[in-house]
Structure 1
Amino acid sequence: MYLMLTILGLLVIQRISCSEPQCSRFHYEEQTLLKMLKLELFVEKMKEDIQSTQQKVLETLQSLDKEKNGLKQDYQEMKERDEAVMLRYAQEVENLKESAKRPTIIFQSKGLINLSPSAGETLVFKTTMLNEGNGYNNSTGVFTAPAAGVYLFTIQLCAHSKHDAQYIIMAEDKEIQRGFFYDTESNSCGTANGLTVLKEGHRVRIKMQYSRQLMESTTAWNTFSGVLLHTY
């Protein structure tokens, strides 16, 4: 382009410096060269326009590519979230299935047959208020596990004022809880819990550590209860 401008300048200078008769033989060449120069200028302008358009197209493609990558990332994150939600729902369904399969085992009994048990004697609670699974025997005071699992047992014993009630919760031949209740001011009841893992057929009972005199009334119950928390 710069070469064409230089040639154009020289032609103009020559045209000014020459007389018409001397320069007339160059008239055709001059017109042709001017046309070529205009064509070159037009081509250069088109080239610049094309380059500008190409740059804009490139920028647009880069922008679209960036947007596409962003959409892919959003899709992946959404997919991972959906998969996590589906896994959580699937786990909840499995938990519900397990809960549906778990047997209901729970019992509660009250009312001691003997309020003056001797040392090592098993406490027998004669009135069965609840016995889902038929694990508790109110003739022996022994609970026999209908299914293997984790069990929670609770006792409440009532003692006269200034007399203690010392107990042991036994699972087969293993002590799972021991303690005593005592009050110097008045008759009182105390509550204790014991957790254990039982196999099917394992037995649980409450025994006294020492010979003691217990008390009972319509407002103070001696009780023994248990519930299956989780099966194996």
Structure 2
Amino acid sequence: MLGIIATEKTSPLPSLKSFRDDYDSVAKTCVAVGYVKDNCKNIREKRNGIIAFEARGKGGIQRVSQGNTVTFVEVDLNLGGGYNAIKGVFVAPRAGVYVFGWKIFTDTNKIAYTSLLVNGKRKAYNPCHNNGHGLDGTCSEMAVVRMAAGDKAWIDSFYSTASINAKYCSFSGFIL
């Protein structure tokens, strides 16, 4: 009879548990020191399926010509990484039903007629006309739209030149 000798096989590759432990450690360090903090969060959020953003305008009076995008450059929240502050455009990370809302603040005796576009098609309108009386005007709108992965949504001026006080304006959205 042959004797069987048990030997322990060792792999030159790290175990899956070791890999997960190392990954979690790097992610925690990344968040703790603030280095590429959003990228670390986005990895976790993409796994959980969370998609939501909130952005505000910056500065004072902004004039947006008809057909041009209103930009919201101060990003407070960008879960899922879909909002591009430089372009002012949200790109749907995955298909679904999305809710968008935006608030526009105009100066006395000014107008700001804005709309939500999805892939260049107007889905909702927010005509804001401030008749004066010594007060500034705030107008808001909300829209619920179905989007495919990669579809784009943004806010533009649809009539004349919009005169907005950017620091009091915002654009947000999330998936249902």
**Scaled by the length of structure 2, what TM-score is found?**
0.67
Structure 1 portions without partners, runs of 5+ = 1-100
Percentage of pairs with the same residue? 25
Aligned mate of 2:53, from 107, 110, 131: 107
Larger of the two Rg values belongs to structure:
1
Aligned mate of 1:117, from 64, 67, 84: 64
Structure 2 portions without partners, runs of 5+ = 1-46
Q: 1:203-229 CA deviation, whole Å, 9 max, x = no partner?
A: 000000121221245xxx110000101
* Offset of residue 153 of structure 1: 0.2
Aligned mate of 1:201, from 135, 150, 170: 150
Q: 1:159-184 CA deviation, whole Å, 9 max, x = no partner?
A: 01121210110000221101311232
The 5 Å alignment of 1:77-116 reads: 103-112=49-58, 115-116=62-63
Structure 1 CA distance for aligned equivalents of residues 126 and 164 of structure 2: 15
Match of 1:48 in 2: none
- Is the CA contact 1:135–1:145 (under 8 Å) kept in the aligned structure 2? yes
Runs of 4+ more than 4 Å apart: none
**One-letter amino acid matched to 2:100:** F
Structure 2 CA distance for aligned equivalents of residues 102 and 176 of structure 1: 28
Structure 1 CA distance for aligned equivalents of residues 48 and 157 of structure 2: 33
Structure 2 CA distance for aligned equivalents of residues 141 and 216 of structure 1: 13
Match of 1:214 in 2: 164
- Partner SS, residue 139 of structure 1: coil
Q: Which has the higher helix share?
A: 1
Q: Which has the higher strand share?
A: 2
- Partner SS, residue 191 of structure 1: strand
The 5 Å alignment of 1:20-169 reads: 103-112=49-58, 115-169=62-116
- What is the root-mean-square deviation in Å for CA atoms of aligned residues? 1.7
